[in-house]
Amino acid sequence: QVQLVESGGGVVQAGGSLRLSCAASGRTFSNYAMGWFRQAPGKEREFVAAITWIGGRADYADSMKGRFTISRDNGKNTLYLQMNSLKPEDTAVYYCAASVGRGKVVLITIGDYDYWGQGTQVTVSS
């Protein structure tokens, strides 16, 4: 079993920045693909960014490219999402997710992930 706990959400003005963290525990965290997703009120959960656990390759949704950066600290079993130039449309609950045994692959589909955190709210005011 894997536990994922997000933190770092909050309220920020448009143009501001936030850094989300996702702490993983429960198993040897050495071969996990990781990702961030978000869900705004009344909308479906959508892909934000993903990263391999080996090699650090990453991918982003088009609307996040150039503004968001996903990274990880293997020694701390922690995933990060640096969000800059935030817009009101970035307001959502942000979730981290893990996929077991697929650490070399960038996964962008919800169904690819085995474990999810509880989410952290990000609110961007105009």
Strand pairing category for 10-13 and 120-125: parallel
Query: Which residues, given as ranges, of the chain have pLDDT below 70?
Result: 28-30
Q: Which amino acid is at 79?
A: L
The answer for residues whose C-beta is within 8 angstroms of residue 15's C-beta and 6 or more apart is 85, 86
Residue-level pLDDT at 56: 77
pLDDT number for residue 105: 87
In terms of phi and psi (left: phi > 0; alpha: psi -120 to 50; beta: otherwise), the region of 6 is beta
The per-residue pLDDT for range 76-107, each reduced to its tens digit, is 989 999 999 999 999 999 999 999 888 888 99
- The rounded distance, in Å, linking the Cα atoms of 61 and 43 is 16
H helix intervals, 18-101: none
